[in-house]
Amino acid sequence: MLLVVPSQNNALGCLALYVNDALILGANSEEIVATIEVDIIMDGGPELIHCSKALSQLLVLGKTNNRIKKQNIMKEVIYNSTLHFEHEHWKSELAFWKDELKSFKNRLGELVTRWTDKEVLAQLEHYQNEFILHGGVIEDLQETIEKHELNIAGHSQTGKVSMDVAMVKIHLEFRNKMEDQRQIYADLKKEFFRFLSKYM
């Protein structure tokens, strides 16, 4: 652990303050101990030169860590316009899914009039339930988007152009949910199309 002892000597006193500032900037004490063999800053020429080198290393470590922290914070910034654009894309996608489900339900209606086989009718009922379930999921997703849009609108009215970290986290979680549902729906459509090719 680096121990800084203030001195009556102005140069050493300033050096001590600078070293403390470097630590506050984020220099890791373990890294410092591993690279700098300085226990106590004492009066004297050779010691002062040695400590100046230590100070340089401390400042490099501290500024580097501080820069990394700033970069990480910047990565979390997402502008409201970007979120809104993605919302509009999702809304269009969900509306398309909704229209597709209507078409699929019409196909089910046609098949019901053609088949009396219990196995086929059971599969028709299975797809009907799947479409109803997926339709409910679509409505929930649309409702979530609308709520998020209201949050963005309220945020923009305060003059802020970017969302805070908490809201960005919610947005990213919703993005993952959309990706998962997109895959579930794609698998359902493939399965249903294979069924249609067999019984239409």
pLDDT per residue as tens digits for the range 144-165: 999 988 887 776 666 664 566 7
Q: Is the pLDDT of residue 140 over 80?
A: yes
pTM of the model: 0.57
Task: Note the pLDDT of residue 132.
Answer: 96
Task: Note the pLDDT of residue 75.
Answer: 42
In the numeric block, the tokens 């945020």 are attached to: 155
Which of 39, 36, 37, 75 is CA-nearest to residue 58? 36
Token couple for 149? 């849009």
Residue 35, H or E segment: helix 29-35
Task: Note the pLDDT of residue 150.
Answer: 86
Measured CA to CA, the distance from residue 73 to residue 62 in angstroms comes to 17
Least confident of 39-53, 85-99, 154-168: 39-53
- The 3-class secondary structure across 36-64, one letter per residue, is CCCCECCCCHHHHHHHHHHHHHHHHHHHH
Measured CA to CA, the distance from residue 111 to residue 196 in angstroms comes to 9
SS3 state of residue 28? coil
Q: Is the pLDDT of residue 196 over 60?
A: yes
pLDDT per residue as tens digits for the range 61-71: 555 555 544 44
Confidence of residue 72 (pLDDT cuts 50, 70, 90): very low
Domain range list for the chain: 10-74, 80-199
Percentage of the chain surpassing pLDDT 70?
Answer: 56
Maximum alpha-carbon separation in the chain: 102
Contact 18, 55 (CB under 8 A): yes
Q: Is the pLDDT of residue 50 over 60?
A: no
For 106-178, list the strands marked E by DSSP.
Answer: none
Task: Note the pLDDT of residue 171.
Answer: 87
In the numeric block, the tokens 């067999």 are attached to: 198
In the numeric block, the tokens 């209201």 are attached to: 150
Contact 101, 129 (CB under 8 A): no
